[in-house]
């Protein structure tokens, strides 16, 4: 079920130019200014060019923690807030995006198998980072759009739902997100944090775990940037009464061996059946432990994953949304293999290069309106630390458009190195921040 986020926040009208000037000159926006400008922009009373100017002022001048929290509050109040009346404790997860990041797929059914309810409202891919909905739509029959009542019923019956956000959740964020994309104001921690948390808090979960990635394949390139974002996110959660934990995770190397859509679904199913790459398993279990702790459940997710119970929940979750979990996944019409140019040890494999290559093969999109290919992607047949001989296959490029291969190969130039040895891999989870 859903309900209005809160009573209307508007107390008096302001002039948009005055709000812009306040932030342009380094001032702090008042709660009343924030409430008014977010609501007025959502209703169309503040023009796109005015909000563009304000977004740039925020980008350049920043916001303090109080402003960020209030901005988030105003965006939540622009729409409805789900009221999840289910018999299990509810807990959600959000990732800031990476290459090969299919963790939601095994994680949601695993946490549900442990006794929690997971209302995972997800999005689509843009650029080199993939989208959860694009991946799941490679399963024949599966549908992303559910009504609020369908979400509620599936959570009660299955314990997990992965679907598109309903149109009424944080409409202010939908408008502002699109505006930031075309005004070069995306890389702003206040705007990123409020965007993420407005949607997640509006979903109505009682706890939230964040996977904040850093490295070449992540939005945040450095650990310090990721730490700053995680701190802002957990602070917003605490301010809004939603216990929030953030894991800082390494995204310099693709996660797992599959990057794309159907290939990532296949790898996720392997994990749910007790196999799969060690890094995907490790991160899935680490996030599950944090989610279960917030839900107040004393269950070992590693044992549940090994038991096969999570795979059973996966099958029920997919079937509940019209999909056939037993149906063959799409396969590409063209496969191109990249081979090792020399013998030695694969010393590095750059996540960003692989992500861009997969995008150019058709796994991702340059604009939200672009279609994606279900079968497009890359299989990493070797990972850093693996010994290879000259001519051994390193990467398998999948696409339905062979003409895209040269552009993908261009993206991979300099994206891997072969040497006499490789550095010891570090931990995938580098730090934990709790709100």
143 catalytic? Reply is no
Three-state secondary structure readout of 164-198: ECCCCECHHHHHHHHHHHHCCCCCCHHHHHHHHHH
| Identified catalytic residue from 180, 240, 336, 383 | 180
Given a contact cutoff of 8 angstroms between Cβ atoms, the answer to whether 109 and 271 are in contact is no
- Is 199 annotated as catalytic? yes
Residue 336 annotated to the active site: no
Buried b (16+ CB within 10 A) or exposed e, 260-278: bbbbbbbbbbbbbeeebbe
Is residue 135 part of the annotated active site? The answer reads no
Task: Characterize the bridge pairing of strands 92-95 and 208-214.
Answer: parallel
Query: Of these residues, 35, 39, 134, 173, which one is catalytic?
Result: 173
Q: Check 199, 240, 383, 398 and give the catalytic one.
A: 199
Cα–Cα distance between 51 and 37 in angstroms, integer?
8
Q: Of the listed 122, 188, 194, 195, which one is catalytic? A: 195
Question: If we measure between CA atoms, which residue out of 154, 109, 88 comes closest to residue 295?
Answer: 88
Q: Which residues of 152-186 are buried (b: 16+ CB within 10 A; e: fewer)?
A: bebbeebbbbbbebbebbbebbbbbbebbeebebe
Interatomic CA distance for residues 357 and 160, integer angstroms: 32
Is 410 an annotated catalytic residue?
Answer: no
* Active-site pick, 73, 81, 93, 94: 94
Give one word for 400, left, alpha or beta, with left for phi > 0 and alpha for psi -120 to 50.
alpha
List the catalytic residues. Answer: 94, 173, 180, 195, 199
């Amino acid at each position: 079920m859903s309900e209005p986020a809160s009573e209307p926040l508007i107390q008096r009208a302001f002039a948009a130019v005055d709000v812009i000037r306040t932030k342009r000159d380094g001032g702090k926006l008042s709660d009343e200014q924030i409430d008014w400008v977010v609501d007025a922009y959502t209703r169309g009373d503040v023009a796109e060019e005015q909000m563009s100017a304000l977004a740039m002022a925020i980008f350049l001048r920043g916001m303090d923690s109080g402003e960020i929290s209030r901005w988030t509050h105003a965006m939540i109040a622009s729409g409805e807030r789900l009221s999840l009346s289910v018999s299990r404790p509810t807990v959600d997860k959000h990732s800031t995006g990476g290459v090969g990041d299919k963790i939601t797929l095994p994680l949601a059914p695993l946490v549900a198998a442990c006794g929690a309810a997971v209302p995972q409202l997800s999005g689509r891919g843009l650029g080199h980072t993939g989208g959860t909905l694009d991946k799941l739509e490679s399963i024949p029959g599966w549908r992303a759009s559910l009504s609020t009542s369908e979400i509620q019923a599936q959570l009660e019956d299955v314990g997990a739902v992965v679907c598109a956000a309903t149109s009424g959740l944080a409409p202010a964020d939908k408008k502002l997100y699109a505006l930031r994309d075309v005004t070069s104001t995306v890389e702003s921690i206040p705007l990123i944090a409020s965007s993420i948390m407005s949607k997640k808090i509006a979903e109505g979960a009682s706890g939230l775990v964040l996977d904040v990635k850093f490295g070449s394949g992540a939005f945040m390139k450095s650990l310090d940037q990721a730490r700053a974002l995680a701190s802002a996110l957990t602070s917003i959660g605490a301010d809004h009464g939603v216990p929030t934990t953030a894991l800082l995770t390494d995204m310099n190397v693709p996660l797992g061996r599959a990057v794309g859509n159907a290939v990532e679904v296949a790898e996720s199913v392997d994990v749910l059946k007790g196999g799969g790459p060690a890094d995907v398993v490790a991160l899935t279990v680490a996030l599950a432990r944090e989610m279960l702790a917030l839900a107040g459940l004393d269950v070992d997710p590693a044992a549940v994953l090994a038991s096969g119970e999570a795979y059973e929940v996966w099958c029920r979750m997919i079937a509940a949304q019209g999909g056939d979990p037993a149906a063959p996944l799409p396969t590409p019409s063209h496969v191109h293999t990249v081979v090792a140019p020399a013998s030695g040890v694969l010393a590095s494999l750059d996540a960003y290069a692989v992500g861009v290559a997969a995008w150019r093969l058709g796994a991702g999109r340059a604009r939200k309106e672009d279609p994606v290919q279900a079968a497009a992607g890359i299989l990493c047949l070797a990972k850093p630390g693996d010994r290879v001989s000259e001519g051994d296959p390193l990467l398998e490029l999948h696409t339905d458009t062979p003409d895209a291969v040269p552009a993908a190969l261009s993206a991979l130039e300099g994206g891997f190195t072969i040497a006499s040895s490789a550095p010891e891999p570090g931990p995938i989870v580098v730090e934990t921040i709790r709100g």
